[in-house]
Amino acid sequence: MYLVAIAWMYVVVMMTVVEATSANGTVLGAIFTFVLYGALPLSVVLYILRSPGRKRARLAAEKSAENVPATEASPSEPDGSHHASGDTVTPERKEA
């Protein structure tokens, strides 16, 4: 997958160089060529092709989170004892 992406970016960079250095070309045209033929389409294609990998990683993280023993602390239970921690700061209200 990455080999095709690298090859496509090589072709796009060569198109950009030709656009910038040709007699009728401009640097602005080269920038648009690079963005519209290279960076934007390639980012969309790579995002779509990585979707299965992101899904597998998310499912693996959820599965490993289910297997956490009760003795380990989780973000919602700071000390892991299923009781509120004793060092909470009570809010102070200012009266107008």
The model's pLDDT over 31-58, given as tens digits with 9 standing for 90+, comes to: 999 999 999 999 999 999 999 999 999 9
Instruction: Give the sign of the dihedral formed by CA 39, CA 42, CA 47, CA 48.
Output: positive
**More confident of the two residues 82 and 64:** 64
- Mean per-residue pLDDT of the chain: 83
Q: Which positions ≥6 away from 20 have C-beta within 8 Å?
A: 26, 27, 29, 30
Tokens 């060092």 map to which residue? 87
Query: What are the Cα distances from residue 25, in Å, to 14, 22, 41?
Result: 13, 5, 22
**pLDDT of 94 higher than 70:** yes
Whole-number pLDDT of residue 92: 74
Q: Percent of the chain, pLDDT > 90?
A: 55
**More confident of the two residues 66 and 58:** 58
The gap from C-alpha 72 to its chain's centroid, in whole angstroms, comes to 29
Q: Nearest to residue 27, comparing CAs of 38, 36, 18?
A: 18
Domain ranges of the chain: 2-54
**pLDDT of 79 higher than 90:** no
Whole-number pLDDT of residue 20: 94
